Amino acid sequence: MFELFGISSQALFGQLLIGLINGSFYALLSLGLAVIFGMLNIINFSHGAQYMLGAFTAYFLLQYAGLGYWWAIFLAPIVVGITGIIIERLFLQWLYKLDHLYGLLLTFGLALIFEGTFRNFFGSSGLPYSVPPALQGGRNLGFMFLPNYRGWVVVFSLAVCLTTWFVIERTKLGSYLRAATENPTLVRAFGINVPRMITLTYGFGVALAALAGVMAAPIYNVSPQMGANLIIVVFAVVVIGGMGSIMGAIVTGFGLGLIEGLTKVFFPEASNTVIFIIMAIVLLIRPAGLFGRSA
Amino acid sequence: MLSPGAVPLLAVEGLQAWYGESHVLHGVTFDVIAGEVVTLLGRNGAGKTTTLKSIMGIVGQRTGSVRYEGKELIGLTSDRIARLGIALCPEERGIFASLDVEENLLLPPKVRAGGLELDRIFKLFPNLQERLSSQGTKLSGGEQQMLAIGRILRTGARLLLLDEPTEGLAPVIIEQIGKTIGTLKQQGFTILLVEQNFRFASTVADRYYVMENGRIIDRFANAELEANLDKLHDYLGV
């Protein structure tokens, strides 16, 4: 143990770890938003509700099918992703040529419906979801105590984010996605079924939100508002990072989680607002965001 | 003008097209025989580009008939049309900024067997090979045009729609593109070319159609070009 500016290493690294955990969720969620916005031109305001649906799906799988965490982390993104695909086919596909505002309003309305419905049936107190047995306990790293589950969340989210980045920026499939983001008409005229690609992209973005929800369940409990509380911060993260960049979303997500954690150590009064202060500054200096390409 | 019994590869009949409210094509009729290079001439706004886009299925609304190998294309989406073996090189070239040159080149999927191998394409356009890892839009205008043509040669498409491939390019590059079109023709590609520059077109084309106000108003073979020069100057306002 040592001290830094009068703060014990345990407290400092503890907060940094919490920052990294929050950052993992910011990164996963803002990544999904960035992917969806790139392809669909839609600001997916139901992203927080879809994160909540992921957590609830994990809860239902355990309660009603006896399937635990490892099943949930695999199945919940697929189930919620499929609901995303249905939403895209039923509603979103009619909005692409309209102003962003319409997509934002529609997805905001859907979020209210999802959250209201779940609050009606499950109340707002939150349902417990326990850490899977394999990840219970923790280890002493010398300078701090690391709960195994939290270490897993950070490592696994980072792996998912980097894999997504790799697929989009370095593979053939990714080149279709990037090209279709730029000029969907021409990509379609080359013989690629762009509408299907758009549908699957939305399903994938939603699945990322659901995956984050499953990972959050053992940390924050499962509650109908869990997404509403988080999504406002995530939108600030997206504004700071800029909509256009995949790596930007990842770096900004983890970075802002850490900054938030540090603020909790050194100036706790500002820890809930620091991200919004940074957002305001970024909007003044670089309106397109740190990694965004201005149009 | 058709040799008797020749079945056209592409037959356009009474094609009408709209962009939203504006009616752009008013009944366009022409055909292209397999192996030909046919050029659409006409002033700006005559409907040449819209004709290519209508064949490809990327205008808002179209009626009439476009048949390729006897199959009706009206009503098909553009990805289905591409899969039948038609490829477009658009006027604005459509090089993707977020893709490098290699990714741009490999983007259009193979729709049929018989496309050119990559080394054949590099033989036609050696510049591309040297710049494979550059960002697509960092290429010069001429190189971007070569990339836009090169990428549709791999796919196995047999009918190429080239929209003003010489626009804004230096004479030496125009000459290279002219040679390329000649080579492609020898290899059995069928090409429908849109051009304002009929001097260039005359070096490659078998036949011409002249468009005005969304209609075909005249047609002649390359051998009749000299005899039609006065009329052509009149049509094109040059």
Using the predicted structure, report yes or no on whether residue B145 has a pLDDT greater than 70: yes
- Report the pLDDT value the prediction gives residue A97, as an integer from 0 to 100: 84
At residue B199, the 3 state secondary structure works out as helix
Q: What residues of chain A score a pLDDT lower than 70?
A: 1-5, 293-295
Residue A140's CB is within 10 A of a number of other CB atoms, namely 8
What integer is the mean pLDDT of B102-108?
97
Q: CB under 8 Å to A102, separation ≥6 — which residues?
A: A95
The reply to whether residue B77 touches residue A185, judged by beta carbons under 8 angstroms, is no
Q: How many helices (H) and strands (E) does chain A have?
A: 11, 4
**Tokens, residue A142:** 């010398």
- Report the pLDDT value the prediction gives residue A124, as an integer from 0 to 100: 87
- Report the pLDDT value the prediction gives residue B60, as an integer from 0 to 100: 82
To the nearest whole angstrom, how far is the Cα of B87 from the nearest Cα of chain A?
7
- Report the pLDDT value the prediction gives residue A201, as an integer from 0 to 100: 97
To the nearest whole angstrom, how far is the Cα of A119 from the nearest Cα of chain B?
43
**Tally of domains in chain A:** 1
The reply to whether residue A190 touches residue B109, judged by beta carbons under 8 angstroms, is yes
Span B11-54, pLDDT tens digits: 999 999 999 889 999 999 999 999 999 999 999 999 999 999 99
Using the predicted structure, report yes or no on whether residue B7 has a pLDDT greater than 80: no
* A18 falls within a domain: yes
Q: Which residues of A touch B (CB under 8 A)?
A: 172, 175-176, 178-179, 181-183, 185-194
Question: Given B56, B98, B106, which is nearest A189 (Cβ)?
Answer: B56
Q: In chain B, what percentage of residues exceed pLDDT 90?
A: 86
Residue A268's CB is within 10 A of a number of other CB atoms, namely 10
Span B184-238, pLDDT tens digits: 999 999 999 999 888 899 999 999 999 999 999 999 999 898 898 888 888 888 6
List of chain B residues whose C-beta atoms are within 8 Å of the C-beta of residue A187? 107
Using the predicted structure, report yes or no on whether residue B3 has a pLDDT greater than 60: no
CATH of B8-236, one of 3.40.50.300, 3.40.50.2020, 3.40.470.10, 1.20.120.340: 3.40.50.300
Half-sphere exposure of A177 (CA within 13 A, CB side): 28
To the nearest whole angstrom, how far is the Cα of B233 from the nearest Cα of chain A?
34
Which structural domain range is residue A276 located in? 3-118+131-285
* A69 falls within a domain: yes
* A77 falls within a domain: yes
What integer is the mean pLDDT of B124-144?
94
- Report the pLDDT value the prediction gives residue B5, as an integer from 0 to 100: 55
Q: Are residues B84 and B158 in contact, defined by beta-carbon separation less than 8 angstroms? A: no
- Report the pLDDT value the prediction gives residue B140, as an integer from 0 to 100: 94
At residue B27, the 3 state secondary structure works out as strand
The reply to whether residue A181 touches residue B98, judged by beta carbons under 8 angstroms, is yes
- Report the pLDDT value the prediction gives residue B225, as an integer from 0 to 100: 87
List of chain A residues whose C-beta atoms are within 8 Å of the C-beta of residue B88? 186, 189
Q: List phi, psi (to 5°) of A8.
A: -70, 150
- Report the pLDDT value the prediction gives residue A4, as an integer from 0 to 100: 65
The enclosing H or E element of A213 equals: helix A194-220
- Report the pLDDT value the prediction gives residue A2, as an integer from 0 to 100: 64
Span B62-71, pLDDT tens digits: 999 999 999 9
Beta-strand relationship, B159-163 and B190-194:
parallel
At residue B38, the 3 state secondary structure works out as strand
What integer is the mean pLDDT of B68-97?
96
List of chain A residues whose C-beta atoms are within 8 Å of the C-beta of residue B108? 190-191
- Report the pLDDT value the prediction gives residue B127, as an integer from 0 to 100: 92
Q: Is the alpha carbon torsion for A53, A56, A57, A58 positive or negative?
A: positive
The reply to whether residue B99 touches residue A178, judged by beta carbons under 8 angstroms, is yes
Residue B102's CB is within 10 A of a number of other CB atoms, namely 17
Q: Tokens 């400092």 belong to which residue? A: A12
Q: Is A263 left (phi over 0), alpha (psi -120 to 50) or beta?
A: alpha
Question: Given B97, B99, B108, which is nearest A190 (Cβ)?
Answer: B108
